[in-house]
Amino acid sequence: MTKKERDKRFRKARTQVLKARTRLLRGTRDEIVALLNDVAEQIKVLLASQPSDYQQWYLPQLQKEIQRTLAALGEKSAGVIATKSGEAWALGQAMVDTPLDAGGLRISGMLPMLDTKPLLAMRTFMTDRMQDVASSAAARINGELGLVVIGGQSPGDAIANITNLLKEQSRRRATTIVRTEIGRVFATAAHERLQQAGEAVPGLKKQWRRSGKIHSRPQHDAADGQIQPRDQPFIIGGHQLMYPHDPKAPASETINCGCVMLPFMESWDVAVPGKKPFSEEEIRLNPTKADMATSRPINDYLGK
């Protein structure tokens, strides 16, 4: 295999893993949102079946039924998270193994399996967070029902508020958990695998790659393309992060972050060795990116 062929295969394999990561995040989010929407409809039907005179509502029984429905939501969503976190862990390992193998550095059969203790700890944390989404929703729904019983709002208003609570507010929170915590599992596995691989591949480093989201963190965009030794931290907005979603970093640097860590070798030819160019859409829709493109050397952000 020539160097050109090797580098092409490496780039293709790395892109495939990143696309699989995107599909996993989106698919997990869609499954959780579908569960929330289903529960919202169930509760909507339950409330609509109550007597039109709110004074005839039997609140304890109604709350018990809603609690049961939301408890089932917590269990189902926790099950989805448990399954998807395992897939994210495997993909994180593949973020290192697959491109290196494709480029002729076959390490996957040489290295030991990753210690899954971090995965188990993160999985427990995530399932607790998802179950808390359900329990928090139950508490807020009880408040809405209480307002109906004391005549503070109409049953119709309560149904609308509760539906919005489940379909909008709970959905946003669940989406944040998925993006942040599934992303953390992927990033942690990739980092741990990179440390292992570095023992077999001298000169193996890591590179920070920004997400490409329209409304991303400016400091994460500014760090795009940064290269560090595999065992040294990235410097992101004055903070030290070993990898995106590093649990030791402030939450302000990790929540909803879409950045990734890429394996890097100085000898590899890659399509974008430094900063990834801002797209025209990014510059058009985000004034901060437009300012960055004009206040810093334009070639850094437009790839020219």
Exposure string for 156-170, b = 16+ CB within 10 A, e = fewer: eebbebbbebbbeeb
| Residues 125/185, Cβ–Cβ less than 8 Å | no
Q: What pLDDT is attached to residue 197?
A: 94
**pTM attached to this predicted model:** 0.89
- Banded pLDDT at 57 (limits 50, 70, 90): low
Domain boundaries, given as residue ranges, for the chain: 1-201, 204-304
Query: What is the mean pLDDT of the segment spanning 251-269?
Result: 90
Contacts with 6 (C-beta within 8 Å, 6 or more apart), sequence order: 103, 104
Q: What pLDDT is attached to residue 256?
A: 94
Q: What pLDDT is attached to residue 297?
A: 52
| Residues 130/178, Cβ–Cβ less than 8 Å | no
Q: Which CATH class is domain 1-201?
A: mainly alpha
Q: What is the mean pLDDT of the chain?
A: 88
pLDDT tens column, 131-168: 898 889 989 988 888 888 788 888 888 888 988 888 88
Distance CA 39, CA 65 (A): 12
Tell whether the model's pLDDT for residue 10 goes beyond 60.
yes
pLDDT tens column, 267-287: 776 777 778 888 889 889 898
* 239 burial level (CB within 10 Å; 0-12, 13-18, 19+): middle
| Residues 190/243, Cβ–Cβ less than 8 Å | yes
What is the β-pairing status of strands 234-236 and 205-209?
A: unpaired
- Banded pLDDT at 301 (limits 50, 70, 90): very low
Largest interatomic CA distance in the chain: 80
Tokens of 4: 């050109």
Least confident of 84-93, 102-111, 246-255: 102-111
Query: What is the mean pLDDT of the segment spanning 49-74?
Result: 81
| Residues 1/104, Cβ–Cβ less than 8 Å | yes
- DSSP assignment of the chain equals --HHHHHHHHHHHHHHHHHHHHHHHHHHHHHHHHHHHHHHHHHHHHHHTS-SSGGG--HHHHHHHHHHHHHHHHHHHHHHHHHHHHHHHHHHHHHHHHHHHHTT---TTTSPPPP-HHHHHHHHHHHHHHHHHHHHHHHHHHHHHHHHHTTSS-HHHHHHHHHHIIIIIHHHHHHHHIIIIIHHHHHHHHHHHHHHHHHHSTT-EEEEE----TT--HHHHHTTT-EEETTS-EEETTEEESSTT-TTS-GGGTTT---EEEEE-TT---S-SSPPPPPHHHHHH-HHHHHHHHHS-HHHHH--
Q: What pLDDT is attached to residue 54?
A: 65
